[in-house]
Homo-oligomer: A and B are copies of this chain.
Amino acid sequence: MPETPHGANAATSRPPEGEESFGVSMDLVDAVASAIEDGRHADVEVQVASLHAADIADLLESLSDENRLALVDILGSRFDAEILTHLAAPVREDVIDHLGPERLAHLLSELDSDDAVEVFEDLDEEFQHRILTALPQAYRQILQQSLTYPEDSAGRLMQREVVVVPSAWTIGETIDYMRAAEDLPDDFYDLYVVNPKHRPIGKIPLSRALRTRRPVRLTEIMETDIKAIPLTMDQEEVAHMFRQYGLVSAPVVDEAGRLVGVITVDDIVHIIEEEAEEDALKLSGVSEGDLYSATLDTTRARFPWLLVNLVTAIVASLVIGLFEATIQQVVALAVLMPIVASMGGNAGTQTLAVAVRALATRDLTPATALRFIGKEVLVGAANGILFAVLTGLVAALWFDNPLIGAIIGAAMIFNMIVAGLCGTLIPITLERLGIDPAIASSVFLTTVTDVVGFFTFLGLASLVLL
């Protein structure tokens, strides 16, 4: 085996076989932290030497603010630009402030254009300006143009570096070209065949190219169903397309249909996760993963949703206030009323969670909406009846009053049917109005189930008991 720098270096730094665990352990974080604090820089360098950029990013996130910047200094010129793309936004800001515009400009120019844009677009305008002036002109133009595309669009997501081959070539010519070319991207999975107008007309997976004999023409083996993506397509839609068709890469085209970039699956993995995560967090009234935000920022970010919740809680209290006289006469009602509201809220939230995810994954469409709503109402009614019996028995025995049992049972059935109906109708309606159902549905829903729950229970009680 000939010794080459590439193979040999990598082999000594990491065992080639499985079983090793991956990621950054707490022991490593502690060891690095104490080496930094003791000024043992050589030890730190050994500890991080074999780490992947993503692991170094995790390490930076786990360190205290001072140790984090100290590690950046220790890494010095060996600080890999790719680390920046793996850092959570607030930590990345810290590190970038510390690096300063000139260092950052240099680091960005080492990245593929999509990664550079990802880091660049989050900077404030003044910082962006200072970086642009420090960049070589060709690279500056790429960044500036990327920013003209809408946020979260295919144009921002794509990388400019595409392997393009003319349709007249054979496999042999293609392989010869690739062996000679200097400026190909690091990793790619498909070759794109373009016509003289630079429009993509076919795509050849590398595995197919490798298995084909030299004289075969590209047009004979290319796939022509290439799923071209317009520059302005939203990233969520792009992700849906990758998932639906199991794509590894897809070409991005401008309005004239010309090939201008390529999106690869590694970027999509992050978006799919981001979108699913966003939905999960939004349902709970958190706008974004704020694990690394400052306490003050987090407090401020969560305040509005809590305020909305306060208003809806007061609305529910106003409904209770209507029945003050009744409660004064039968205090049992005050004891029992949270049960009706809580069960409605929970049943509705179950429905809502399914509906919001189904809307996001396009499983809930106008074609399936009616069936879905009907089913959720039935489920609400069925569980409503079961829990009406249970709760009714408990209430009747507790307060030794069968009438109270009957009242809470009736209110329960009604509220759980309303929960099934609103748990579907609210997100579907919001989606049609162009409002994100994940963020707004849950406030509307619990307001409805609280108000309906309190009103039905206390209203029925006023009619029957007084």
Contact = CB atoms under 8 A, between A and B. Distances in A.
A382 B186 CA distance: 48
A366 B26 contact: yes
B391 A224 contact: no
A386 interface: yes
**Taking the full assembly, how many copies of this chain does it contain?**
2
Nearest to A27: B367
Interface stretch (A8-16, A96-104, A125-133): A8-16
A175 interface: yes
A357 B303 contact: no
A448 interface: no
A291 B342 contact: no
B313 A342 contact: yes
B225 A354 contact: no
A104 B167 CA distance: 41
Nearest to A251: B18
Interface stretch (A34-42, A70-78, A137-145, A212-220): A212-220
By secondary structure, the A interface counts as helix
A357 B299 contact: no
Contacts of A17: 199-201, 228, 253, 257
Interface in A202-242: 202, 205-207, 209-213, 217, 219-230, 240-242
Contacts of A291: 354, 358, 363-364, 368, 372
A379 interface: yes
A244 B22 contact: yes
Interface stretch (A116-124, A330-338, A426-434): A330-338
A1 B219 contact: yes
A265 interface: yes
7 contacts: A4-B219, A7-B202, A13-B225, A285-B349, A289-B357, A303-B386, A328-B331
Given A58-B362, A248-B266, 4 more contacts: A23-B362, A280-B280, A302-B350, A338-B450
